[in-house]
Structure 1
Amino acid sequence: MDYQKLEIVMRKLALEAGDKIMEIYNSDDFEVKTKSDSSPVTEADEAADALISAGLRDAFPDVALVTEEQAATHSESAMSFLIVDPLDGTKEFVNRRGDFTVNIGWVEDGVPVRGVVYAPARDRMFYTRADGSSVEEFGPFDKDTVGEVHDIRVAQADNSALRIVASKSHRDQATDDYLAKYTAADTKSAGSSLKFCLVATGEADIYPRIGRTMEWDTAAGHAVVNGAGGKVVRFDTHEPLTYGKEDFANPFFIVASPTVDLKPA
């Protein structure tokens, strides 16, 4: 993979998709349909998916592509592939809460190594550079010219007072029971893969997910966390979360600074 080209293409496509999403988000009304798994999908999901898929296939015609909105791509069996969630956090979009993102990731030998997470309603964009390091770029954003960019790193966590981020739409008793094992300095909720990015920037120390997710939900944010020095591990074994599974479904997982004690008393 040409990482320099990948950085440019992913960043630009994320911004273009974000513009399309916001055009629909700011309209008076938009249609919400229900997929076979009972999750919502909107014309914004579909428009962003078409734009990103076309751009990636044009730039990388020989690379496998998996995208949430195209079931035909879910039969891919490669261990290295591009993976897209064109609108992560559709419930946040439908409810006009703003915590939705465009996710584009590159998985290499089962590991997410490059990615972009763009939250157009929040004017926040996080991505990995060609060298694998993670940054946040600050707006206003120009599609052809990179603006002000700051390196991001996970925090040195204080286990006596952790800053916790949890799902806004999928908080449950199992998550609360796990978090109760920690002493929290602060607990916040966020939608979509923004939770990964809050750990990557050091704004939070840990994000546990005890619930169903798919690889396209997590790959881009996982790459950003990796590039910021963090870790994403299985909830049960604390082994690294891997990609390219047959059904693209993730086990439960934890996103954290390496200094967080994952086995609290």
Structure 2
Amino acid sequence: MNYDALIPVIRKLAIEAGDKIMEIYNADDFDVKVKSDDSPVTAADEAADAIIAAGLRAEFPDVMLVTEEQADSHAAKGDTFLIVDPLDGTKEFIHRRGDFTVNIAYVENGVPQRGVVYAPAKNRMFFTQADGQSVEETGSFDPNTVGEVAPIKVSDSDNSALLVVASKSHLTDETKDYIAKYQVADFKSAGSSLKFCLVATGEADLYPRVGRTMEWDTAAGHAVLLGAGGQVVRFDDHTPLTYGKEDFANPYFIAYAPGVELKSA
């Protein structure tokens, strides 16, 4: 993959999808349907997916594409692919809480190498540059012109006063029990893949996920965190979380700054 060609494309598509999502988000009302797995889906999920999938297929026709909203793509097999969650945090979107993101990532040999996470309602965008360094962009988010970007880096963690972030909609008792193993100075909840980005910027040290996720939920945030010096490991044995797994389902995991002294499950 030519990363110099990839990054402008995924950034542009994320912004275009985000613009469409906000158009629907700001409408007086929108329909909510239920998928076969009982998860909600809206017109915004579907419209954003159409924009991103068409753009990626046009630019990278020979690269495997996996996207949450296209069930036939879930049968694909391989460890190198583009993976999309066009609207991560649909529940946050439905309740108009703002913590939802557009996620596009490129996985190579099972590792998320590059990605973009765009939170249009929060006016925050994070992406990996072609050289692998993660940045946060500020400005007007013009699809064709990159605004000001600043490199982001994980914190130098203080294990006697950790900053922890966890899911807003899926905070399980198991997650609470695991967090209790640490000395926590501050705890915040956030929706969608923003949690990875808060660790990547040093706004949090630790994000444990003791609950179900899919690879499209995590790949872009994972790439951003790696590019900021962070890590994502399996909850059970602390080995790196990899991609291209059966059915694209993740085990429980921990995202963290390397200075955190991880506790056993």
Please, what TM-score do these two structures have when normalized by structure 2?
0.99
Q: 1:4 — aligned with what?
A: 4
Superimposed CA distance per residue, residues 221-243 of structure 1 (whole angstroms, 9 cap, x where no aligned partner) = 00000000000000000000000
Q: 2:89 — aligned with what?
A: 89
Deviation (angstroms), 1:264:
6.6
Q: 1:160 — aligned with what?
A: 160
Q: Distance in 2 between matches of 1:113 and 1:263?
A: 27
State how many pairs are aligned. Answer: 265
Deviation (angstroms), 1:143:
1.1
Q: 2:143 — aligned with what?
A: 143
SS in 1 for 2:247: coil
Q: 1:172 — aligned with what?
A: 172
Matches within 5 A, 1:38-187: 38-187=38-187
Q: Distance in 2 between matches of 1:255 and 1:72?
A: 29
CA contact (8 A) 1:182 1:264 kept: no
CA contact (8 A) 2:181 2:263 kept: no
Q: 2:200 — aligned with what?
A: 200
Alignment-mate amino acid for residue 150 of structure 1: A
Structure 2, gaps ≥5 residues long: none
Superimposed CA distance per residue, residues 144-179 of structure 1 (whole angstroms, 9 cap, x where no aligned partner) = 111110000000100001000010000011011011
Alpha-carbon RMSD across the aligned residues, in angstroms, is 0.9
Alignment-mate amino acid for residue 58 of structure 1: A
Q: 2:227 — aligned with what?
A: 227
Deviation (angstroms), 1:246:
1.5
Superimposed CA distance per residue, residues 203-253 of structure 1 (whole angstroms, 9 cap, x where no aligned partner) = 000000000000000000000000000000000000000000111000000
Alignment-mate amino acid for residue 81 of structure 2: F
Q: Distance in 1 between matches of 2:207 and 2:248?
A: 21
CA contact (8 A) 1:124 1:139 kept: no
Deviation (angstroms), 1:183:
1.1
Deviation (angstroms), 1:139:
2.0
CA contact (8 A) 1:126 1:137 kept: yes
Superimposed CA distance per residue, residues 74-96 of structure 1 (whole angstroms, 9 cap, x where no aligned partner) = 01101100000000000000000
Deviation (angstroms), 1:100:
0.1
Superimposed CA distance per residue, residues 111-164 of structure 1 (whole angstroms, 9 cap, x where no aligned partner) = 001000000000000000000110000121111111110000000100001000
Superimposed CA distance per residue, residues 180-211 of structure 1 (whole angstroms, 9 cap, x where no aligned partner) = 11111110000000000000000000000000
SS in 2 for 1:213: coil
CA contact (8 A) 1:84 1:216 kept: yes
CA contact (8 A) 1:11 1:127 kept: yes
CA contact (8 A) 1:193 1:221 kept: yes
Q: Distance in 2 between matches of 1:79 and 1:167?
A: 27
Q: Distance in 1 between matches of 2:163 and 2:139?
A: 26
CA contact (8 A) 1:163 1:204 kept: yes
Structure 1, gaps ≥5 residues long: none
Superimposed CA distance per residue, residues 26-73 of structure 1 (whole angstroms, 9 cap, x where no aligned partner) = 000100000011100000000000000000000001000000000000
Q: Distance in 1 between matches of 2:93 and 2:139?
A: 21
Q: Does 1:251 align with 2:251?
A: yes
Percentage of matched positions with identical amino acids: 73
Alignment-mate amino acid for residue 107 of structure 1: V
SS in 2 for 1:192: coil
